Amino acid sequence: MSDAYLALEDGRVVEARGRAPGRTRGELVFTTAYTGYEESLTDPSYEEQVLTFSYPLIGNYGVRDERFESDRIHPRAAIAREFTDDVAEWLESEDVPAIDHIDTRDVVTSVREKGAMKCGIAVGDDVTPEDAKAELAKCKGMSEHTEIGAQVSTVEHQTYQADGEAIADVALVDCGAKLSIVDSLTQRGANVHVLPHDTTAATIDELEPDVLFVSNGPGDPANFGDAQALVEEFVGDVPLAGICLGQQIIARALGGTTEKMAFGHRGVNQPVRDLNTGKVVMTTQNHGYTVGEPGDLEVTQVNVNDDTAEGLENDDLNVITRQYHPEAHPGPHDSLGFFDDVLGMVDTDSRRVVVSD
């Protein structure tokens, strides 16, 4: 085991046990999920952040790559009360610094009271508190990464065939998409075309999709101008859907606003109320921004805890979005019907016939 230090933006430096060596910095956030650590660590929405697990033991059922949501770990570092050796070795193999033997309850409480904060981490045999402070100092004056989409998006068009007979073609704009979104669509009979975040309108025209879907992803939705431009171009002509960051991008394209939250929603037990039915479902969430004003969209679902917008719709324009993750890996499956609603927007009478290879 090596030395480790965590320097926080509030001035504290916390000593820890090093589990994977390295030095890094980023925005400190936490998740309340007590399972699904593989899915969380491979979720592109955590890009450039330092992820703290509030559940005390992380790794008690090993590491299996079939649970991954992408091809790599995305947080810059990971923090837990205790990591098992399996998880620590996985983090080290991907050069992601990790620390444990830390009071994560105190860290989470600080973030809840003071908001998401920057931090610096130093792990190694000879590191000192000053090394962690030096990493934190590199954060000061830095704005959020405006090119973050390029770090998490596919670089080329990828097609996933429907399970069985195809009933729709979905153009998925990849702003950091989870693989579970693709799986949820293909399982329901959609061919899914995963496209770069900066895909052009000409590419969409050539594909002639039945649905244009904007994915989840990291950071500020204002940094995804190309995806927003696609929404502005095709709204009213092609049914639109979005999850998490996708909801925010679509709202901005339709005259709405977005804003940064104090510490965001990250976990698997966020209650959401449907305003039409009054029904409350538990949801999985991972976002630090939210929709302020919905623009041309109607708020149909809200978070029970803070009334932030969780669902937006416009029947006339064929738009439906969710702030949470209906595909829910990890988490409850209360909202999987969202994908049925998305494919329900497809006009089957006018749909072109697609012959799969």
The pLDDT value given to residue 107: 95
Residue 350 falls inside a structural domain: no
pTM summary value? 0.95
The pLDDT value given to residue 100: 98
Q: Give the CATH number, domain containing residue 16.
A: 3.50.30.20
The pLDDT value given to residue 352: 43
Check whether residue 240 and residue 278 sit in a common domain: yes
Q: Tens digit of pLDDT for each residue in 167-213? A: 999 999 999 999 999 999 999 999 999 999 999 999 999 999 999 99
Task: Tell me, yes or no, if 157 is annotated catalytic.
Answer: no
Q: Tens digit of pLDDT for each residue in 292-331? A: 999 999 999 999 999 999 999 999 999 999 999 999 877 8
Q: Is 245 annotated as a binding residue?
A: yes
β-strand pairing of 309-314 with 298-303: antiparallel
Residue 349 falls inside a structural domain: no
Check whether residue 164 and residue 57 sit in a common domain: no
Catalytic member of 74, 244, 265, 329: 244
Q: Average pLDDT, whole number, for the chain?
A: 94
Residue 355 falls inside a structural domain: no
Of 137, 171, 201, the last residue of a domain is 137
Check whether residue 308 and residue 271 sit in a common domain: yes
Check whether residue 133 and residue 171 sit in a common domain: no
The pLDDT value given to residue 355: 34
The pLDDT value given to residue 347: 79
Return the H-helix or E-strand segment holding 38.
helix 37-41
Return the H-helix or E-strand segment holding 249.
helix 245-253
Check whether residue 280 and residue 305 sit in a common domain: yes
Catalytic member of 193, 197, 325, 329: 325
Q: Is 230 annotated as a binding residue?
A: no
The pLDDT value given to residue 348: 64
- Residue 21 backbone phi and psi in degrees, to 5: -75, 160
Task: Tell me, yes or no, if 244 is annotated catalytic.
Answer: yes
Q: How many CA atoms lie less than 13 Å away from 178 in the CB half-sphere?
A: 32
Handedness of CA 285, 290, 293, 294 (dihedral sign): negative
Check whether residue 119 and residue 164 sit in a common domain: no
Of 137, 172, 204, the last residue of a domain is 137
Instruction: Quote the domain boundaries for residue 90.
Output: 2-137
Q: Is 288 annotated as a binding residue?
A: yes
Q: Is 191 annotated as a binding residue?
A: no
Check whether residue 213 and residue 133 sit in a common domain: no
CA pair distance 28, 26, nearest whole angstrom: 6
Task: Tell me, yes or no, if 325 is annotated catalytic.
Answer: yes
